[in-house]
């Protein structure tokens, strides 16, 4: 068994640096849309509140709006307000890791936006609302492993925004929205393993964001959106083995992040971005075999993430970030042949991951994270001579991926590779 797992481990550990991306890093299902909100509470604000408290507040807001609609059912503005409340509630559900709740809320908001847009196709505000609704629905579909549905949603959003931008090319909000939808389709391409297609749409998004950023250098949200684009380019370059290009992109990402956090150190969203940038530079250092630099970068990322995770234990994004940090720590220990330390770090990562998947078993990304985390733990166990435990962990990882595959859920390229490896090793 050792001959199988060891040879595969080297490749998989390298790929493992990419398999658990931050939830839209420097941006995610929530954080990346900070400049796309409908005049409502942005994601940075969402990160700085107690999510359970916000959930209660939005339920009250929802009931109040429903009461007013009952008194004036033909009021389109109230209908729009309710659609936005649905989306806001969906954002909170996403942050809490409740994909089912998020899907219900986003679906309700999208349905109302469709009705309003059909009622007055010339109303550009309602058309934009519809594009935002499609993006949010696409995000939850992507998190559930429903790539065709996510692709359809992001494509629908892109089509709407293309028409809006044609009407007014100078509208910077619509341009920003367009760049977001392009990035979302790039994320789909990455999930499918089509890096060439991802580069194409990421480049288009980057060009838009560079122009917007140059036109308003003091606009922090535009600068942050540019940071997200640099991070995506860095990920693609790293996946392709182009370390100089990846390093350049991640350095640009870090420069923007440092400038933003210097402006507002209390902004939790920007602190999270900074932790991601440290992590990415650590990945580059590992690839360049500069382990001291990697250890320093990962330690800086870990310090930030521990603070964020403890600031709100209900925030699943912060918890997931922390489990990724523990995985990086375990990777470093494996590189240094410190197998007991790797085992401890991977165990911490798996424990957090199991809590997340227990919270929402429908989240296919978390399930795949867990399968990889358990596999990494199995290698640390194997290198300490724990043969029985190693096989048990192999089986646990295999069962997770096999179950997802049997249900028709989309598996990332690394998960497909891991499933094939485990099938071979276990003689399935």
Distance CA 404, CA 398 (A): 10
Distance CA 42, CA 243 (A): 34
Does residue 223 sit within a domain?
Answer: no
Does residue 119 sit within a domain?
Answer: yes
Q: Are 304 and 258 spatial neighbours (Cβ–Cβ below 8 Å)?
A: no
Q: List the pLDDT tens digit at each of the 428 positions of the chain.
A: 444 543 333 333 333 333 344 444 333 333 333 333 333 323 454 445 556 667 777 778 888 888 999 999 999 999 999 999 999 999 988 888 888 999 999 999 999 999 999 999 999 999 999 999 999 999 999 988 899 999 999 999 999 999 999 999 999 999 999 999 999 999 999 988 899 999 999 999 999 999 999 999 899 999 999 999 999 999 999 989 999 999 999 999 999 999 999 999 999 999 999 999 999 999 999 999 999 999 999 999 999 999 999 998 888 889 999 999 999 999 999 999 999 999 999 999 999 999 999 988 888 999 999 999 999 999 999 999 999 999 999 999 999 999 999 999 989 889 999 999 999 999 98
Does residue 304 sit within a domain?
Answer: no
Contacts of 226 (CB under 8 A, 6+ apart): 206, 209, 210, 213, 256
Does residue 153 sit within a domain?
Answer: yes
Does residue 237 sit within a domain?
Answer: no
Q: How many domains does the chain have?
A: 1
Two tokens, residue 329: 């720590």
Instruction: Provide the whole-model pTM.
Output: 0.78
Does residue 224 sit within a domain?
Answer: no
Two tokens, residue 361: 């078993």
**What residues make up the domain containing 172?**
34-215
Dihedral over Cα of 45, 46, 48, 53: its sign: positive
Does residue 379 sit within a domain?
Answer: no
Residue from 303, 283, 308 nearest 293 by CA: 283
Output the domain CATH number for residue 189: 1.25.40.10
Which CB contacts under 8 angstroms, 24+ apart, belong to 175-179? Answer: 175/208, 175/211, 175/212, 176/35, 176/36, 176/208, 176/209, 176/212, 176/222, 176/225, 177/36, 177/128, 177/131, 177/132, 178/205, 178/208, 179/204, 179/205, 179/206, 179/208, 179/209, 179/212, 179/225, 179/229
Does residue 169 sit within a domain?
Answer: yes
């Amino acid at each position: 068994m050792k001959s199988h797992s060891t040879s595969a481990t080297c490749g998989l550990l390298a790929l493992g640096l990419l398999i658990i991306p931050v939830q839209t890093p420097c941006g995610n299902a929530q954080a990346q849309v900070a400049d796309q909100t409908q005049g409502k509470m942005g994601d940075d604000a969402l990160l700085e509140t107690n999510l359970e408290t916000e959930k209660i507040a939005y339920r009250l807001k929802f009931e109040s709006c429903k009461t007013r609609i009952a008194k004036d059912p033909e009021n389109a503005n109230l209908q729009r307000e309710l659609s936005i409340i649905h989306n806001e509630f969906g954002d909170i559900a996403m942050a809490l890791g409740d994909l089912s709740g998020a899907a219900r809320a986003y679906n309700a908001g999208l349905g109302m936006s469709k009705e309003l847009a059909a009622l007055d196709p010339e109303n550009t505000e309602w058309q934009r609302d519809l594009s935002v609704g499609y993006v949010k629905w696409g995000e939850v579909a992507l998190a559930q492993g429903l790539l065709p549905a996510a692709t359809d949603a992001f494509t629908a959003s892109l089509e709407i925004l293309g028409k809006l931008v044609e009407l007014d090319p100078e509208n910077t909000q619509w341009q920003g929205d367009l760049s977001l939808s392009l990035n979302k389709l790039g994320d789909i391409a990455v999930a499918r393993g089509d890096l060439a297609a991802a580069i194409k749409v990421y480049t288009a998004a980057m060009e838009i964001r560079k122009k917007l950023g140059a036109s308003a250098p003091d606009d922090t949200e535009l600068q942050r959106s540019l940071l997200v684009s640099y991070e995506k380019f860095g990920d693609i370059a790293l996946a392709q083995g182009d370390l100089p290009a990846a390093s350049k992109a991640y350095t640009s990402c870090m420069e923007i992040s440092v400038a933003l956090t210097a402006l507002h150190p209390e902004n939790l969203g920007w602190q999270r971005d900074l932790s991601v940038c440290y992590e990415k530079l650590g990945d580059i250092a590992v690839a360049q075999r500069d382990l001291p630099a990697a250890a320093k970068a990962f330690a800086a990322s870990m310090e930030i993430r521990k603070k964020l995770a403890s600031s709100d234990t209900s925030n699943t994004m912060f918890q997931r970030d922390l489990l990724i940090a523990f995985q990086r720590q375990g990777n470093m220990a494996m590189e240094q042949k410190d197998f007991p330390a790797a085992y401890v770090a991977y165990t911490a990562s798996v424990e957090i991951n199991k809590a997340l998947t227990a919270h929402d078993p429908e989240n296919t990304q978390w399930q795949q994270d867990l399968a990889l985390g358990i596999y990494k733990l199995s290698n640390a166990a194997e290198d300490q001579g724990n043969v029985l435990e190693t096989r048990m962990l192999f089986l646990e990882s295999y069962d997770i991926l096999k179950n997802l595959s049997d249900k028709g859920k989309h598996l990332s390229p690394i998960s497909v590779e891991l499933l094939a490896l485990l099938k071979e090793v276990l003689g399935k």
